Amino acid sequence: MKTDAQFEDADGFYEQLIDAHQGLSREESEVLNARLILLLANQIGNSAVLSECIRAARHLPGGGKTGR
């Protein structure tokens, strides 16, 4: 899993991301996020990297876990 920035344009990506959610309900946003995660995961492909990303996402700063 890469942890250094790989973005060509971090601010531009972030703006596009939150723009994509504009006008959506909470439920519609969740659908968008889920679809986006699956699309991005397919770009990665590598099983070990995907596993590591999932582990890292669950691990909050301070040792907590998401979904408590």
Where does this chain bind another protein (CB under 8 A)? Answer: 2-7, 10-11, 13-15, 17-18, 21, 24, 26, 29, 33, 56, 59-61
Residues with Cβ < 8 Å from 58, sequence gap 6 or more? Answer: 65, 66, 67
Q: Classify residue 61 by its DSSP letter.
A: G
> Of the two residues 11 and 47, which places its CB atom closer to another protein in the complex?
11
> Of the two residues 6 and 47, which places its CB atom closer to another protein in the complex?
6
| Shortest distance, position 30 Cβ to another protein, whole Å | 9
Write out the two tokens for 56: 């890292």
| Helix/strand/coil for 28 | helix
